Amino acid sequence: MEEIDIKDFLGYLKKYLIPMIIVSILAVGASIFYNLTLKTPMYKTSTTVVLAQKTSEKESTSVTLNDININQKLVATYTEIVKSKLVLEQVIDDLNLDTTTEKLAKHVTVTSVEDTEILKITVEDGNRILAAQIANKIADVFTKEIVNIYQLNNVSVIDVAQVSDKQSNQTTIRDAAIALLISVFGISAIAFIIYYFDDTIKYSEDLEKKVGLPIAGKIIKSEIEKRTIGDELLVDKYPKSIVSESVKSLRTNLQFSSVDDGFKTILVTSSNANEGKSFISSNLAISFAQANKKVLLVDCDLRKGRLHKLFNLPNLNGFSTLLTDDLENYKKYIKKTHIKNLSIIPRGVYPPNPSELLGSQKCKDLIVALKAKYDIIIFDGAPCNGVTDSVIMATNVDETLIVVRDARTPKSTFDTTRDSLKKVNAHITGVVLNGVNRKIAKYYSYYGDK
């Protein structure tokens, strides 16, 4: 069983804070409403009787040890007699009650005071006056029946039941507290179960250990993404935003990680679609361009690449058609963008053999030729799950980045992607964790969104 990181779980539990508050408010409110409006008020009252032989004035009033022993043995028997049909039927008849002996018995409790010969008869009813009448009538009928059954006059009433004004089932505060605890622990338990069985990669302090690779960057999720649907070039449009600062931090990490070896070509891939690899590759390319690097962004996702849509460029002639053309014509496939220092080769038409094109000698020769013209070349690759395009392409570049979506990418799928790339000796620079919650990551040093 995988060890549970309590600190990590508490961070995960924050996602359920609002549902927990809502459920708690509803549960407590429902409990209070039930207690104050729907719950029938009940009242309890008690009478006590003692088992002691009555004597006349001429007889000795002393109580022998034998009398005490006999009476104590009779306590259990007398307890059953109090709730018997013999007694309760007479009570129902005398008080003209609209109930049965079975129902009445549920409202009658008989307890014996420890180490004594005293019985306490308690009655609970919605009518406080009737509760006292029933308790006193039970004691009266019970004493008479003992005489008839045992020919003993050894039961005496000590305390007569009084009318109680205090509601016995007034448990509003207790029930509200229980509802609150059940809500909090219930939501926490559900969150724990989901967390335990959740196989997705999530931000944590020991993430590098979990994924077995360095964390090249953490791209913070921002409200900007929601406000600019269809416009994902945030580093260009919002250069001071938290997302842009995250991408620039990724750029810096890449530069420092290759100080000695240097690099010119980077492949950006992922395990599955919709994890943000095109978003990362586009904004990373813009970030390098803003750092006065001559950058070329190539869409080598020959199946579903969308860089032409992000930059609003035509897609008729692209990387796929370039690989089937004479390489000397590569310049006509390179398209300028509105961003200084940044050019793009879109994906082109969907070819019947993407993997063969990417693994061809012509592709290797093209990359060599492009490296001589540009400072940085970023390749936006296809997802690795199900196709080998990016695994093949990784052998042609200097560095490979794997994009994962926080709390969305299954670790098992990521492990497969990582291992596939390692088998071909791809140089994996690290993992880019995309869509990280700002509060969880504790990124408070960035500029606010603008």
- Give the Cα separation of 145 and 104 in Å (integer): 18
Rounded mean pLDDT of the chain? 88
Per-residue pLDDT at 67: 52
- Give the Cα separation of 42 and 301 in Å (integer): 74
Tell me the pTM. Answer: 0.69
Over range 248-256, report the average pLDDT: 93
Most confident of 68-77, 108-117, 212-221: 212-221
Per-residue pLDDT at 59: 46
Per-residue pLDDT band for 197 (boundaries 50, 70, 90) equals confident
Per-residue pLDDT at 230: 60
- Which residues share a beta bridge with 335? 344
| Nearest partner of 370 among 406, 350, 398, 392, judged by Cα | 398
Per-residue pLDDT at 449: 43
**What structural domains and CATH numbers belong to the chain?**
6-39+170-193 (no CATH), 43-159 (3.30.70.1130), 202-441 (3.40.50.300)
* pLDDT surpassing 50 at residue 1: no
Which residue is associated with the tokens 């570049």? 397
Higher-confidence position of 15 and 163: 163
Residue percentage of the chain with pLDDT more than 90: 71
Q: What is the DSSP letter of 285?
A: H
Over range 207-222, report the average pLDDT: 90
Least confident of 50-54, 324-328, 361-365: 50-54
* pLDDT surpassing 80 at residue 218: yes
Per-residue pLDDT band for 298 (boundaries 50, 70, 90) equals very high
- Give the Cα separation of 441 and 443 in Å (integer): 5
Write out the two tokens for 156: 């005496």
Over range 81-100, report the average pLDDT: 94
Over range 123-129, report the average pLDDT: 94
Q: Which residues of 211-250 are buried (b: 16+ CB within 10 A; e: fewer)?
A: bebebbbbbbbbebbeeeeeebbbbbebbebbbbbbbbbb
Q: What is the tens place of the pLDDT at every residue in 356-403?
A: 999 999 999 999 999 999 999 999 999 999 899 999 999 999 999 999
Least confident of 47-61, 109-123, 149-163, 207-221: 47-61
> Three-state DSSP class for 155?
strand
Per-residue pLDDT band for 259 (boundaries 50, 70, 90) equals low
Residue 130 has phi, psi (to 5 degrees) of -65, -35
> Three-state DSSP class for 51?
strand
Per-residue pLDDT at 326: 95
Per-residue pLDDT at 51: 78
Per-residue pLDDT band for 100 (boundaries 50, 70, 90) equals very high
Per-residue pLDDT at 343: 98
Per-residue pLDDT at 260: 59
Which spans in 162-294 are helix H? 172-197, 207-211, 224-227, 234-237, 242-257, 277-290
Per-residue pLDDT at 113: 80
Neighbours of 8 (CB within 10 A): 18
Is 224 within 8 Å of 243 (Cβ atoms)?
yes
Residue percentage of the chain with pLDDT more than 70: 88
